[in-house]
Structures are given as C-alpha cells and as structure tokens.
Structure 1
C-alpha cells in the first residue's frame, strides 16, 4: 500500500497509470483540485487469465466498475458515484477547492469475484475553457477531415458521371456505326441482286436473238 500511494504521488506529472486489485478491492488516490478545475478521465479494466498468464479484456456481463469521488475537506462528502462497464470515461468539475479522493472498485460475480484485475486510468486536469478549447480543436480537426473526404467523394462522383457520359457517347457512336454498316451491307446486296437479274435478262435476250434458245 505504501508503494501504491507513493506512485499516486506522481500523478501531478503523469497522465496515465495502472494498478492491480484482487476481486472487489477498493483502491483510492488523493488529488488537490481547485474550484472550477475539470477532471477528464478514461479507465479500462482487465482480468488475469491463468491459462495464458496475461491480462485480457474483461467481459461487461460479468465485470463492472464503481467510481466514487469524495471531498475530503468536507467530511468525505461523496460528489460522484458512477457505475459503469469495464471500460469507460468520467468527467468531474470541482465545486470547491480542496483535497479530493478518487476511488475505483471492480464489481464482479461468479468466478471473477476473487480474480486479479488490472485497472488502467488515463486522465487530464485543467480549466474548463482550456479543455473545451482542445475538444473544439479536435472537433474542428475532425470536421475538416470530413469536409476533405466529402470533397474527394464529390470528385469521385464527378469522374464517375464523366465516365458514364463517355461510355454513353461511345455506345451511341458504336450503334450508329453498326447501323450504317448494316444499311450499307443491305444496299450492296440489293445492288448485287439487281445486277444479277439484269445480267440474266441480258443474256436471255442475247440467246434469243442468236436463236440459241
């Protein structure tokens, strides 16, 4: 426990840490927060698998997490009590200046009731305006990326429409050429047939005049 609280003392310069608990053991750390300070955090709970000898993602149907934040200076008045899945986020704004206690407690059932768990926590502390501005910058960045993707999609659609227009034009020209070729073939056959008929009639009249037939 002494080692645990020594590590917690480094939280002022660290933004991520993890710790181990057994079953439903409750672990807490203390943080001095001034009025209006915003605490943003993410947590993730993993369970120890004895078969693979490593930590794996927890099943939300069997394991959850309880988060409590208390005002130590106000007789440990609890200001946050949050129950959630093995992974999630939390947000807290300090109402008054003073020492706050932040506690994590896994809630498990079945064979997980006494299993070893690993809780990873990542948080960011700052004033509301600064963190909100970061969020806005992140949102603006995502918005910009979405706009770029939309432009690319529009360009792809334009290229597809141009390709379809070219294919339609090529198809119309091909049909026109094929139609002309068929018509020219029919004309040639008609001319050839007329020529054959004329030659046969000419030869018949020639043979008649020569009294061959």
Structure 2
C-alpha cells in the first residue's frame, strides 16, 4: 500500500510540474510592490494581473479604465546586482512571460501608474503566478500557431467564398448586359422600322391626296 501511494504521488508530480500561486494586495498612490521568486535556469514564469481602483461612491473597488491607469511590470535578477531583465508597461488587466536565464533569486515588481486625481487613488492588484518549465512555453507557442493556422484557413475559405460570389456576380452582370444590349438593339430596329413605315405611309397619303385634288380639278 505504501509503495502504491508513493508511485501515485510521484506520477502526480510528474504530470503536474507547474506551481501556481494567486494573491492580491492593496496600494495607494502608485506604490511599487515587489515579490521575490527563487527560479532555476530555464524556468518559465508567467504572471497575470488585474488592477481595480477604489470608488468612494460605490464604497468598493471597480474595474480601471486603460485610458486612466496603466501598470508597470519589472523583473530583476537580485543575484546579479538587481539587473533588470523585464520592463513592461501595459493595461490594468494583462500578463507577462519570463524565462530565467540563470538560477537565482528574482524580484518581480508591480507599480500602478495614473495621472490627475487618480494618481493618489487606492488600488487593488490581483496577481497569479504560474511557474513551470520552458517546454510549457513552447507548447503554448505551438497551440498559438495552431490557432492562428486555423484562423488563416477560415479566412482563406471565406476569401474563396467571396471570390465565388464575385465571379457569380460578374457572370450575372455579363448576362444582364447581353440581354440589355439585345433589347436595346431590337428597340432600335423597331424604331427604324416604325419610322420607315411612317415615311412610306406619309408619301402614299400625299400621293393619294394629290391624285384626288387633280381629279377634283382643285390643282
């Protein structure tokens, strides 16, 4: 029983080699908050954050507008004289990805930044760290490429469908143009025939009237 339990425990840690931690903290007036992580070489660190601002009217925290507030994320190597390896400025809701180049202690810092009256506002920052191997990053890249490939295939199929519709519209337009030209041609010949018949009729009537007037000794 003990051996079976140990085998199951080892299998669990082999299948789930990722460490996930989620927490939140409060800041006031753009305070910079840092966290220390001990990372080994080629370890993947992924972070997801969400910043909310305190609303005095609601007496609670609400979503921040990206136009009013941004977040600066820094990752520094403490073991290498605090060398900064990541500096990212983004929206109140976002994420970042970092692969440790060397083993040692790393410092991850978050700093909400705002202007105007929001520069002194209270903020709540929700953070989730996901620590694993760089193979996970490659897997996610493959998943992203596959998703992009599927989107490209969908766009290609839509383009082909649009081209077929355009070809059908061109064929219909050509058919309509041929019918229109045929109708116009028939209408033109019909008009010519009508004018010709009208001219012959006028000539015959004039000749008939001339003969009538001669017989009546009018002319």
TM-score (norm 2): 0.68
Aligned length: 197
Unaligned runs of 5+ in 2: 1-17
Counterpart in 2 of 1:78? 82
Deviation sequence 1:73-124 (CA, Å, 0-9, x none): x5x9534363634545433223444564434344566644543111133443
Deviation sequence 1:149-169 (CA, Å, 0-9, x none): 133123213312331332133
Matches within 5 A, 1:55-134: 55-57=62-64, 64-65=71-72, 67-71=74-78, 74=79, 78-80=82-84, 82=87, 84-87=89-92, 88-97=94-103, 100-106=106-112, 111-134=117-140
Distance 2:119 2:179 in 1: 77
Counterpart in 2 of 1:163? 169
| Structure 1 residues 186 and 13: alpha-carbon distance in aligned structure 2, compared to 1, 3 A threshold | same
Distance 2:76 2:30 in 1: 17
Distance 1:204 1:161 in 2: 64
Distance 1:199 1:29 in 2: 112
| Structure 1 residues 191 and 83: alpha-carbon distance in aligned structure 2, compared to 1, 3 A threshold | closer
Counterpart in 1 of 2:216? 212
Deviation sequence 1:44-71 (CA, Å, 0-9, x none): 4332232344334256677653534455
Unaligned runs of 5+ in 1: 1-10
State which drifts further: 137-146 or 78-87: 78-87
Counterpart in 2 of 1:137? 143
Where 2:41 maps in the other structure, the secondary structure is coil
2:196 to 190, 194, 197: 190
Distance 2:119 2:203 in 1: 106
| Structure 1 residues 100 and 91: alpha-carbon distance in aligned structure 2, compared to 1, 3 A threshold | same
C-alpha RMSD over aligned residues: 3.5
Distance 1:26 1:206 in 2: 119
TM-score (norm 1): 0.69
